[in-house]
Amino acid sequence: MLRFGAQGQLKILGALALLLVCAGSGRAQQPAQPAIPPPEPPPVVKAPPGYAIERDVDLVLLHVSVADAGGQFVPGLRRENFRVFEDGVEQKISEVRQEDVPVSMGLLIDNSGSMEDKRPGVNAAAMTFVKTSNADDEVFVAHFNEQYFFDLDKDFTSDLGEMAKALGHLESDGATALYDAILSSLTHLKKGYQDKKVLLIVSDGEDNYSRATLAATLEQAQRSNAMIYAIGLLRQEKPESAERDRQALVSLAQATGGAAFFPEGVPEVESVCTQIARDIRHQYTIGYYPSKPRDGSFRSLRVEVIPPPGAVQLSVRTRTGYFTTRGVPVSSN
């Protein structure tokens, strides 16, 4: 057995102590493993104040305009004043509401060469349209000639200054690809937050450049849930071309429950825009559950209005039909 003196034992104990200190120091210099941060909370999506989001994939919603003989909106109608027919079969109405709700809206302005002298008046009328509309509407602005120009740096805006800047963004030149521009605008409207969607078109001539046909554009309009309003400035067009454009705009508007207007000149566009804005804000929403299962087919629609006792004959306008979605029912308006 080895024996150490007191001095040797002290040396051994000192060496051991030094080893322990170095070991502890080595451990202290090892980088600590970072703590796993807690997952970020999901973003909060807030609905506009005063409005509730109500969605039902089986419910069909129709926006309906009712006017008297003078073209004035008729308020105060109830469920018993309406009848809805789908493919000729009367449907049971679930709800009828008269409401001024915000909409997602697109302004689609013809920017072809023939519009150059009309643009200042059209831009002013478009701003009047926006100012007369619901203050909570969200709007995008687009122009078209043979190309499609989206004029905002965001999907939609409610800022009047941004809209005015977008309307005055481009110089007018080129041809007219109306149908292509409508298809692009209908696609963009799908990004809108609001359930009710509107596309306002201002054009002064027949389509002469689109790849899409009128038939294809009409089908996509029927598949969308947007109402199309159109203003045709056709006085300077050749009669045959003006008539073809008139028929195209009318067919698109009628199919979607909107309306087409053909003023004599630019000075009348502002009053037409005011009329359209008031029409959008004074409508009924009718909801029903179709009696026939969804199968991907097109369903024709007809709405009849029964005047209250003592009332005169009333006119009613809504979309003429919609496409169902096979397997996954979707609401249509």
Domain count, the chain: 2
3-state secondary structure of 83: strand
Q: Are both 233 and 295 inside the same structural domain?
A: no
Over residues 279-321, the pLDDT tens digits come to 999 999 999 999 999 999 999 999 999 998 888 889 999 999 9
Q: Are both 119 and 167 inside the same structural domain?
A: yes
Domain annotation covers residue 47: no
180 DSSP 8-state letter: H
Q: Are both 161 and 297 inside the same structural domain?
A: no
Mean pLDDT of the chain: 85
Domain annotation covers residue 48: no
Q: Which residue has the tokens 């469920």?
A: 79
Domain annotation covers residue 304: yes
Higher local confidence (pLDDT), 30 or 126: 126
Q: Are both 261 and 215 inside the same structural domain?
A: yes
Q: Are both 178 and 221 inside the same structural domain?
A: yes
Please, are residues 281 and 102 in contact by the beta-carbon 8 Å criterion?
Answer: no
* Structure token digits, residue 301: 């629609």
Over residues 15-61, the pLDDT tens digits come to 444 433 334 444 333 333 333 333 333 333 333 443 333 456 789 99
Complete edge-to-edge strand list for the sheet that includes strand 138-144: 148-150, 138-144, 104-110, 197-203, 226-232, 260-261
Domain annotation covers residue 274: yes
Please, are residues 112 and 172 in contact by the beta-carbon 8 Å criterion?
Answer: yes
Q: What integer pLDDT is reported at residue 16 of this predicted model?
A: 42
4 has a pLDDT exceeding 60: no
The enclosing domain of 262 has a CATH number of 3.40.50.410
Q: Are both 233 and 162 inside the same structural domain?
A: yes
Domain annotation covers residue 146: yes
Q: Are both 108 and 64 inside the same structural domain?
A: no
Q: What integer pLDDT is reported at residue 44 of this predicted model?
A: 32
Domain annotation covers residue 155: yes
Q: Are both 294 and 162 inside the same structural domain?
A: no
Domain annotation covers residue 34: no
Q: What integer pLDDT is reported at residue 311 of this predicted model?
A: 82
Q: Are both 112 and 254 inside the same structural domain?
A: yes
Higher local confidence (pLDDT), 59 or 6: 59
Domain annotation covers residue 42: no
Over residues 149-202, the pLDDT tens digits come to 999 999 999 999 999 999 987 688 999 999 999 999 999 999 999 999 999 999
* Structure token digits, residue 68: 């008297």
Q: Which of 265, 281, 297 is at the close of a domain?
A: 281
Q: What integer pLDDT is reported at residue 327 of this predicted model?
A: 58
64 has a pLDDT exceeding 70: yes
**CA dist., res. 240 & res. 243, Å (int):** 5
Q: What integer pLDDT is reported at residue 310 of this predicted model?
A: 81
CA atoms within 13 A on the CB side of 101: 20
pLDDT grade for 257, boundaries at 50, 70 and 90:
very high
Q: Are both 200 and 265 inside the same structural domain?
A: yes
Q: What integer pLDDT is reported at residue 6 of this predicted model?
A: 44
**CA dist., res. 100 & res. 280, Å (int):** 8
Q: Are both 268 and 290 inside the same structural domain?
A: no
Q: Give the residue numbers spanning the domain of 171.
A: 104-281
Helices 239-256 and 214-223 sit at what angle, rounded to 10 degrees? 20
Q: Are both 164 and 294 inside the same structural domain?
A: no
